[in-house]
Amino acid sequence: MPVYEYRALDRAGKNRDGIIDADSPIAARQRLRETGFFPVSVKVSASSAKGSDSGKTIRWPFIKRVRPGEVSVATRQLAILLGAGITLVAALEAMLMQVSNPAFKRVLAQTKESVNEGNSLAHALGRHPRVFSDVYINLVRAGEASGSLELVLHRLADLSEQEQALRGRLKAAMAYPFLMSCVGVVVVFFLVAFVVPNVTRIFNEMHQALPLPTVILIGISHFLMKFWWLVLLVTIGAIVLFWRFKNSRKGRYTWDRIKLAMPLLGAFNIKTAVARFSRTLGSLVQNGVPLLTALNIVQQFPVAVERPNISVT
């Protein structure tokens, strides 16, 4: 469905800018009138025009996606706006004007329209499972049921910020070993490909018998110099196959078990998993979600490197 940018007048005569989903400009104008706005101009959004062809949206892999940090900031802003006494629809409308990511702006626009039609915020967010997790949606549902949506949104923002900080520390801990591994591979390749051939010529001039390890090293060097293209193709193919296997259900489980069994990083990964699991489960229970429901949610939510083996009966 195309996205339209509009400028309209509200009942007080004030200008309102925003975006709306509709099948056509006429349908967009009709929906604006139904919500109490008088449309002044309606045009196809630039992001929608670029990503559509004959009314069908083309999803390219390089299109900007919604990042967790953007969701965290938006959650905090929504909590602040609700705390200031602004209605939910007006708060979502105000957030639309602040968001620069077209993908996230589209999500917020659809959420606002769904809430404006009488649906709950949790129901509206549930239409976007790739942006909002089950934990997020269920906490919002609990907040709406208990009348403490503002408090729940603040806690969700805190939870998201803690998760990002933990993920940042994990990446920082992995950065140095990864960098050293890459440097080591480059150094070894340089030695085998460029240094060993020069040393080989010296041994050949001396006409001396070489030990077996040296002969093997020289053979590897000759192979790399002659069939470097084959080594490159095999390496790229191995990386692609590993990536596809790691993204499969069985591959993710196997890779997660390997990460948990690593000599040094395994303990760190386990502690990270326990911290995520405990923090997520605690937030659900604290905000009124029943324990069995919370366990079912956490079971489906990737709070750990390897999903926790929880059986709820």
CATH 3.40.50.10540 is right for the domain spanning 68-163? no
What sign does the dihedral 93-97-101-102 (CA atoms) show? positive
DSSP-derived letter for residue 152 is H
The overall average pLDDT reported for the chain is: 78
At residue 1, the pLDDT reads 54
Please state the φ and ψ torsions of residue 56, each to the nearest 5 degrees. -110, 130
Gap between the Cα atoms of 207 and 84, Å rounded: 88
Which residue type, as a one-letter code, is found at position 18?
Answer: G
Core vs surface per residue 255-283: b (16+ CB within 10 A) or e: bbeebbeeeebeebbbebbeebbebbbeb
pLDDT of residue 236: 94
55 versus 299: the higher-pLDDT residue is 299
* Alpha helix (H) residue ranges in 84-227: 88-98, 102-116, 121-125, 134-146, 149-190, 196-206, 212-226
Q: Are 140 and 149 in contact (CB under 8 A)?
A: yes
Radius of gyration of the chain (CA): 28
Range among 1-10, 62-71, 256-265 rated most confident:
256-265
Determine contact, residues 89/116, Cβ cutoff 8 Å.
yes
- Per-residue pLDDT tens for 98-157? 888 888 888 998 898 888 888 889 889 988 888 888 778 888 888 887 788 888 899 888
- Between residues 119 and 207, which one has the greater pLDDT? 119
Nearest to 51 by CA among 3, 110, 88: 3
Q: Is the pLDDT of residue 25 over 60?
A: yes
CB atoms within 10 A of CB 231: 12
| Spans of all domains in the chain | 3-44, 68-163, 248-307
